[in-house]
Structure 1
């Protein structure tokens, strides 16, 4: 199933703030390059956390950050100006438009149009306008936090209704078709085990399904390791030896119990997500002590193993 998701031209990753959405967006994009595909990450956060992670300046122009992997910041105003360059003839006229007070007021007063143009940038860079082959194989959109992401994804439908058969209305229609084309576009949710993330993931999943944008999968991030059980904790607490103090052993046993409870809660949350969403859920292990590119690389390796497990049985079946 993960291999099928990676076959899409556009992957939109969304989730509550703090669940590791940006890290997983980068890991998904890097995984796409493992098979030789070219990938572009578009991050929507103006603070550009991924640009900082990869050690490059935030830019509306794609910047290479690894082999076959580029990164850019998706900015609504820059996307609008790029679009106008395509439809307004003459540099002098365009320069005058950008400098005018009316244009500045229009940009500030119409944030919805900027959101529409952000998705339009995804649409055109994915090569889904039919006029050219896609410049890159996979675009991974590190979307805003769930609430903002819902507004972003609803904008094309709203704009299509508002602007009708105008140029903007037709653009909105094309973008809306892209989002709902399950051959080319897939939405992936990210969650962790904390109750707020679980609730928001389930609520967002229902909202997306109600507008015919059912997510293709959920990535359940930071699953605690289960390397011991209650019997192991009991054995630890009852150990004896000349250099072992009961106070220290009891403290370690309490820490172990806390981790065991955390793992149990994560399993309950995982079961709830599977039940409420009804779609594929991929477990991403917690990697304490790792951050930045090291964490991205580790998660990429974890996801690659998911893909290998999907491929091997199919190959065996063909034989």
Structure 2
């Protein structure tokens, strides 16, 4: 499944705030870059957290942050101005357009214009038929939190209905086709075990399916490891020795039981996600003590294992 997902030209990663969506977006890009593809991460957060992580300034154009890996901030206004530079002849005329009060008012007041231009930028960089810029191997869009992401993904259909056969309407139609082209575009949801994340993931999955944008997979992030069981806890509490205090053992046993409960809850949550979405779930374990680039690299290693294991999994399924 991961090989099929990475074969797309555009991946849109979304999830509830705080589930590790940006880190997963960067890790996916790293996996693609390591295997020889040229990857571009487009982050939608104006605060540019990934730019800070990679130690570069916010940029509305792609800048290289690692081997085969570029990064940029996706901004509706910047995308609109880039588009106008392509279609408005003459630098002086373009400067006058940008400086005009009508243009400033239009950018602020036009409903959904920024969202449409953001997706238009993705469409352009992915290699639209009339694009002058070269197509990239893979674009990963680090989308806003789920609620905002849904508004973003619904915008092309709404704009097509509003603007009809105008230039804007036709562009919206092209963007909508890109989003629904499962050979070239895939949506990936990210969740963790907490109940709010699980509920939002299931609800968002249903909303996406209802507009024919069903996600290709769910990444279950920060899965707690199963390193011991109830038998191990029982053996711990029954230990004896001159320097072992029963009170200490009981305290450790309670901590271990709490961890077992957390693991069991995570397994139930994963099962619920699989049942409710009907799609594949990729599990990424916790990486305690890691952050920044080290965390991205560690998660990329976990994702790469999914890619390496796929031939064996397919063979086992055939048997």
Shift of 1:128: 2.6
DSSP 3-state at the match of 1:56: coil
Structure 2 counterpart of 1:249 = 249
CA distance in 2, matches of 1:14, 1:180: 16
Structure 2 counterpart of 1:73 = 73
Shift of 1:134: 4.1
- The C-alpha deviation readout for 1:149-195, integer Å capped at 9, x for no partner, is 00000000000010111111111011000000011000000011111
Structure 2 counterpart of 1:7 = 7
Over 3 Å counting, the alpha-carbon distance change for 1:315 and 1:229 in structure 2 is closer
- The C-alpha deviation readout for 1:224-248, integer Å capped at 9, x for no partner, is 0000001111111221222222222
CA distance in 2, matches of 1:134, 1:250: 63
CA distance in 2, matches of 1:35, 1:59: 26
Residue 170 of structure 2 is aligned to residue 170 of structure 1? yes
Structure 1 counterpart of 2:294 = 294
Shift of 1:315: 7.9
Structure 2 counterpart of 1:138 = 138
The answer to whether the 8 A contact 2:80-2:114 is kept is: yes
Q: How well do the aligned residues superpose, as a CA RMSD in angstroms?
A: 1.6
Q: Which runs of 5+ in 2 are unaligned?
A: none
- The C-alpha deviation readout for 1:87-123, integer Å capped at 9, x for no partner, is 1111111100100111111111125101100000000
Over 3 Å counting, the alpha-carbon distance change for 1:44 and 1:111 in structure 2 is farther
DSSP 3-state at the match of 2:255: helix
CA distance in 1, matches of 2:132, 2:316: 38
CA distance in 1, matches of 2:49, 2:105: 29
Residue 191 of structure 2 is aligned to residue 191 of structure 1? yes
DSSP 3-state at the match of 2:112: helix
Q: Which runs of 5+ in 1 are unaligned?
A: none
DSSP 3-state at the match of 1:36: coil
Over 3 Å counting, the alpha-carbon distance change for 1:274 and 1:76 in structure 2 is same
- The C-alpha deviation readout for 1:231-278, integer Å capped at 9, x for no partner, is 111111221222222222211111111111000000000000000000
CA distance in 2, matches of 1:130, 1:78: 20
Residue 282 of structure 2 is aligned to residue 282 of structure 1? yes
Mapping 1:211-250, distance limit 5 Å? 211-250=211-250
Structure 1 counterpart of 2:202 = 202
Greater shift in the superposed pair: 133-142 or 225-234? 133-142
- The C-alpha deviation readout for 1:259-318, integer Å capped at 9, x for no partner, is 110000000000000000001111111111111111111110111111111034568999
Mapping 1:96-175, distance limit 5 Å? 96-131=96-131, 134-175=134-175
The answer to whether the 8 A contact 1:128-1:134 is kept is: no
> How many residues were matched structurally?
318
Structure 1 counterpart of 2:308 = 308
The answer to whether the 8 A contact 2:124-2:131 is kept is: no
Shift of 1:130: 4.6
CA distance in 1, matches of 2:288, 2:178: 38
The answer to whether the 8 A contact 1:123-1:129 is kept is: no
The answer to whether the 8 A contact 1:216-1:280 is kept is: yes
CA distance in 1, matches of 2:6, 2:68: 15
CA distance in 2, matches of 1:80, 1:317: 48
Greater shift in the superposed pair: 238-247 or 15-24? 238-247
Report the TM-score, using the length of structure 2 for normalisation: 0.96
- The C-alpha deviation readout for 1:10-48, integer Å capped at 9, x for no partner, is 000000001110010000011111210000000000111
CA distance in 2, matches of 1:111, 1:295: 38
CA distance in 1, matches of 2:221, 2:313: 25
